[in-house]
Structure 1
Amino acid sequence: MNLLSRITARSPSTRSGGIPLNQLLGLIGSDPYTLLQTQASWGTEERMETSFTAAAQHAMKQSGVVWASLAVRAQLFSEARLAWQSVTRGRPDRLFGTPALGLFERPWPRGTTRDLLIRMMLDADLAGTGLVARRGPDRLARMRPDWCTLVLASRDEPVDAAAPPLDAELFGVIYEPPGGRVEVVLADEVAVFAPMPDPIAWWRGSSWLIAILRELQADSAATEHRLAFFRNGATPNMVISFEPTMKMEQVRQFKELLESEHRSAVNAYKTLYLAGAKATPVGSDFKALDLRSISGLSETRVAAAAGVHPVILGLSEGLQGSSLNAGNYSQVRRRLADITLAPLWSAAASALAPLVTPPAGARLWYDVRDVPALREDRKDVAEIQFRQAQAMRSLVDGGFEPQSVIDAIESEDMSLLRHTGNLSVQLQPPGSGAGDGSGSGDDGSDAA
């Protein structure tokens, strides 16, 4: 019996929320399938691809457009709620709740579902992967990505970095906080939220920030250029030429005087007095460089990588022309919900599902009916429901069983319809009632 089999053979009731490393090594004993060996990304361990601290400090906190993109994604993402969704005949059905969902509603002391989701989203955006560990029956804990190592294992053979077996699976996560206790959290006690999988890894995700590193460098360079422009007098670069008779000491004194009285934005636009010297502007000014267009294009590429339209972020290129028309804005908002947020919510529900046991015939899902940004879509829902109600009325009037009509409309499968054998609105059996051909009243007289 190998290590993975022995560890996973524990009863679910023995959840500990983490195994100290020394205990894990004791369980390994002389097992040849040692898992704690640092290998390449396809090996026994997967670490985060970028520095989490660097991404937070230099990308999120020093770039306005990155901050705005992260904020919009995290804030909208965290507005959803988690719920059970019943599955009937392979089709999603109604949403409902049970006390078991309290684990997500109060994940840690003074925490809410919003706190849980916003942490997962920020970690996934900055590091590619968000990790949440279960700590006992009623508590979760966020695991900082750069302190974690994902461990792979096989039930039948060793995991080789050069040729991983097809049945390699996630064994758990090694949690190594600086100066703290090293723990191993098993796979059934940890949620791995990786919205965009890293194509060269098994379980690790890839951050969208990786794709825009050069854009961030260009944006930072443009910002430095603007700052230098104002520091140096808010004027174009100049070449100062002197008369041949001037001595070097005089040149140095002139240079110090010029910089002290004309450098920095405070001294901009002062009259420049020259004696025995000539100033010639060189280089380009802001108008010639068109930094606004350069910065706008860079910001748009950052927004595209984040999956958030410039209109939503309020970027300069999103505030031009007809972009802010009501119809255009609605389409942009819908695009954000349908293409960016919906897959993220689905991935989060799938990642958190191993931490709880679902009711029979149900799955963990998300509920966005109370998200303010999506309220306008409720009009479309109402329109669809109205059309469905009309179709149901027509089918029931045509003699189909009401419950089969509901099932067919909800599942979009007309083969589920079952006819009652009755006809018309009154659902009269054939040959009965007014259709008997008597044409007379109750007293036998001719009808008026």
Structure 2
Amino acid sequence: MEISIDTWASYHKYGSNTFGLGGGGPYSKSEEIDNDFVGYVNGAYKASGVVFAACLARMMIFSEARFVFQKVKNAKPGDVIDTPALDLLDTPWPNGTTGEMLARAIQDIDLCGNHYMLRQHEIGKGPRLRRLRPDWVTIVLSKEPSEALDCDVLGYIYKPGNTDVKAKWEVFPIDGSNGVVAHWSPIPDPDALYRGMSWMTPVIREIQSDKAISKHKLKFFEKGATPNIAVSLHESVSVEEFKEFKEVMDAQYNGLDNAYKTMYLGGGADVTSVGANIQQLDFATVTGIGESRIAAAARVHPTLLGITPGLGGSSLNEGNFDAAKDAFASGTMRPLWRSLCAAYSVLVTPPDGYRLWYSDKDISFLREDRQKVAMRQQTDATTISRYVMQGFKPESAVAAVLEDDLSLLDHTGLYSVQLLPPEISFADVNAAKKEKEGDDQEKSTDKPSKANNQPTGSKRKPVGRPPKESKDAWLDAVERGEPWEDEL
């Protein structure tokens, strides 16, 4: 039986044991998605503009990601790769794409709190994926949670159309003998062990209020776009005359097309304004409160939705907008991607040392502006340069900065500036330099130079690191106490 979202809301009684929302109730050896899925679709997703905007914002960004394999070493993430094993997620079904699959996945989560994906191997065609409608899936448990601690999932039953005809049921054991089922439920239902919950469940009342406000505004304009009025007639007017007057009044002044017309009344009729006009009703404030709560439940900032609470004051300033965007990416999208990769890991086989992960580098919405990118790259370049100056290998310095992992740094064993080995001090080099300079002066000829009248004829230069020779050869000469000679 399919019931409306309003009926579901009526079940949610705070003073009793009846909790219809979210599928509460006595424990059993199965966990089913109640018919609130249909109610959420027809009563919220297709009937509330705010709910649709929140779901669409989540879906448009979520479906932009792609799957990769990420290397994990010492519990730390590393490089990502793409292998043919990911082809199944790139083309999950004929003419299907990763984006379409992700859109269906987040839509199931928004409306139902659960998403099921089946991997089947068709003879002669290879593996493919099939989405299972969540409200037609039953989770089969080994025991009733209220009676035993060791309550595990035995498998899943798919009932097309929630049929009671068992011949039409499809059973998928947890061992994968009839296909592997991936179950994703990022928001656990506290009233169940394995079932998830939609983020709409706690804000059902707000969704109803938003729909009521929209209906109220529509009625306001349908009734003439003016305040409610009460027309009173003299007590001498008969019932028939009153009915005739009402018909003429409604025909001439009721409805949107008759708004703002001048009203002409005969003798004995008195018009009194009842209620408030649309400005006095302050729909913006009343609507904004409900919209903010719906946006908060969906984990989407009102500024990103373009709803009333996000369009006032400094909300649209560049800094505030960027902060809202970063919070949405880091606090909503990335946790969802991470949990989906964990759920989908049973559908593919990653290489040894790798895990199923996501890549969001190609999502333009999440890209930083050019100024921030330039500042970040400048900071990274400065850090890499300092690492190299301190004697770390350049390639290890780059890897450490890009991966944000200092354990990747690999030292050359040489110090900075002159890059001297640690066993040689600057004092030893200076002493050797002075000694060699003295030897060079004693062996030089007395023939004056034409330029500075100094002795010439020596091919030797003061001990120091020659610019065109290797460091190792120079250090060897210093250690042996031999003078360094350069060829002319």
Query: TM-score, with normalisation over the residues of structure 2?
Result: 0.77
Secondary structure, counterpart of 2:385 in structure 1: helix
- For the pair shown, the structure with the greater C-alpha radius of gyration is 2
Shift of the 132–208 alpha-carbon distance from structure 1 to 2, 3 Å rule, reads same
1:16-415 matches, within 5 Å, as 42-136=27-121, 137-153=126-142, 159-165=143-149, 167-178=150-161, 181-187=168-174, 188=176, 189-275=180-266, 276-376=268-368, 380=372, 383-384=375-376, 386-401=378-393, 405=397, 409=401, 414=406
Relative contact order higher in (CA < 8 Å, ≥ 6 apart): 1
Query: Could you tell me whether the CA contact under 8 Å between 1:195 and 1:347 is conserved in 2?
Result: yes
* Residue number in structure 2 paired with 1:27: none
Deviation at 1:120, TM superposition (A): 0.3
After the TM superposition, which segments of 4 or more aligned residues of structure 1 sit over 6 Å from their partners? Answer: none
- Counterpart Cα distance in 1 of 2:184 and 2:55: 16
Query: Could you tell me whether the CA contact under 8 Å between 2:24 and 2:191 is conserved in 1?
Result: no
- Counterpart Cα distance in 1 of 2:184 and 2:372: 31
- Counterpart Cα distance in 1 of 2:351 and 2:369: 30
Shift of the 377–175 alpha-carbon distance from structure 1 to 2, 3 Å rule, reads farther
Query: Could you tell me whether the CA contact under 8 Å between 1:209 and 1:305 is conserved in 2?
Result: yes
Q: Does 246-255 or 369-378 show the bigger shift?
A: 369-378
- Counterpart Cα distance in 1 of 2:356 and 2:57: 24
Query: Could you tell me whether the CA contact under 8 Å between 2:224 and 2:255 is conserved in 1?
Result: yes
Query: TM-score, with normalisation over the residues of structure 1?
Result: 0.83
Count of matched residue positions in the alignment of Structure 1 and Structure 2:
405
Deviation at 1:381, TM superposition (A): 6.0
Secondary structure, counterpart of 2:44 in structure 1: helix
Deviation at 1:407, TM superposition (A): 6.4
Deviation at 1:130, TM superposition (A): 1.1
% identical aligned pairs: 40
- Counterpart Cα distance in 1 of 2:396 and 2:461: 43
Opposite residue 322 of structure 2, the aligned amino acid is S
Deviation at 1:264, TM superposition (A): 0.7
Query: Could you tell me whether the CA contact under 8 Å between 1:41 and 1:47 is conserved in 2?
Result: no
- Counterpart Cα distance in 2 of 1:130 and 1:443: 82
Query: Could you tell me whether the CA contact under 8 Å between 2:384 and 2:398 is conserved in 1?
Result: yes
Please list every run of 5 or more consecutive structure 1 residues that lacks an aligned counterpart in the other structure. Answer: 1-37, 154-158
Q: Does 431-440 or 241-250 show the bigger shift?
A: 431-440
- Counterpart Cα distance in 2 of 1:151 and 1:385: 52
Query: Could you tell me whether the CA contact under 8 Å between 2:117 and 2:132 is conserved in 1?
Result: yes
- Counterpart Cα distance in 2 of 1:97 and 1:292: 49
Please list every run of 5 or more consecutive structure 2 residues that lacks an aligned counterpart in the other structure. Answer: 1-22, 441-457, 465-488
Opposite residue 186 of structure 1, the aligned amino acid is P
Query: Could you tell me whether the CA contact under 8 Å between 1:87 and 1:362 is conserved in 2?
Result: yes
TM-align CA RMSD: 2.7
Deviation at 1:420, TM superposition (A): 3.9
Secondary structure, counterpart of 1:300 in structure 2: helix
- Counterpart Cα distance in 2 of 1:381 and 1:185: 48
Deviation at 1:334, TM superposition (A): 0.8
